[in-house]
Amino acid sequence: LLLSVSCLLICLSSLLDSHDMAYRDELTQLPSGRAFNQKLLSLGRNYSIAILDIDHFKNFNDTHGHDVGDQVLQMVASKMAKVTGGGVAYRYGGERFTVVYNGKSPEQVEAHLEELRVVIQDYAMQVREASRPAKKPAAQTKSKARRKAKPLSVTISIGLAARTTELKTPDQVIAAADKALYRAKKKGRNC
């Protein structure tokens, strides 16, 4: 009996790990593109989809390296995981994310997305050093270490669209949100 229970627990653990690997983005811990696609199949007749893109993301990688780029993605994802208004955040791929508001119109979610944009814009991101010393030298205080590293400023642009009589499928809504995102970027980003 004990052996059977142990085998059952191992199988259950493997199944949960497999599901997590398939539906959760490893870097950001947000639901992945596969989970997003699954969500699209269960949407009702009224929903809004926002597509978010990190502004000038390539510059973070080119200037500071891919480790810092990963830190930027993780920071944005951590803020997105707390999006208000009933939205569910997903990693769409690269530096793109989505937020799905099932049962909500754009008018009902705009303020929540604007709040998210401002939270990210106002966050002074401290870059974590790749190789931190095990113990700080006694003469170096925390405030001196922070003064050396200039915080990074990260902003996002957002495109929002909803299901309408013209936009009947999730793919059409996503395409409209993508067009809105590019309009936001042409307006100067961070909007």
> Which residues are catalytic, by number?
95
**CB-based contact 131:74 (threshold 8 Å):** no
Residue 69, CB-side half-sphere exposure with 13 Å CA sphere: 15
Q: Which residues pair with 100 in a beta bridge?
A: 49, 88
How far is residue 126's CA from residue 152's CA, in Å, rounded to a whole number? 6
How far is residue 147's CA from residue 133's CA, in Å, rounded to a whole number? 17
Which is nearest to 90 in space by CA: 105, 102, 80, 104?
A: 80
For residue 52, is it left (φ>0), alpha (ψ between -120 and 50) or beta?
beta
Q: Give whole-number Cα distances, 14 to 4, 21, 157, 164, in Å.
A: 15, 10, 38, 42
